[in-house]
Amino acid sequence: MSTQNQTQAAPEFVEAVRVVAKRDGFRRAGRAWSASGTVVKRSELTEKQIDALCAEPNLVVQFTEIPAEPRAEDKPKAEDEAAKKPEAKESGKAKEKK
């Protein structure tokens, strides 16, 4: 039996909660919620907070998924990004002030 060295890829999506307040700035679970809606990762809330949000008649709570953030090792390094940016070129002569 052979053992393969496999690395787990980051999940493409993570569980999230979208909360819409019926009144902008309504507070529950230690946060202020907007009337336009706020999406937070489910992992940022405790079960007790989620229960409080769901029980609150002034909030509309939806469970959804959002794209996962890339892992640190998957993000390009700042040096690599700087190398990809084109350098600014000076065009023509500088304008003289009158």
On whether the pTM is more than 0.85, the answer is no
Torsion of CA 83, 86, 88, 92, to 10 degrees: 140
* CA angle (65, 68, 69) in 5-degree steps: 145
Task: Give per-residue pLDDT as tens, 44-83.
Answer: 999 999 999 999 999 999 999 999 877 666 666 655 555 5
- Inform me whether the pLDDT recorded for 43 exceeds 60: yes
Ordered structural domains, the chain, with CATH: 13-84 (3.40.5)
State mean pLDDT over 35-41.
96
d(CA 7, CA 94): 55
Kindly indicate the confidence band of residue 2, based on its pLDDT and cuts at 50, 70 and 90. Answer: very low
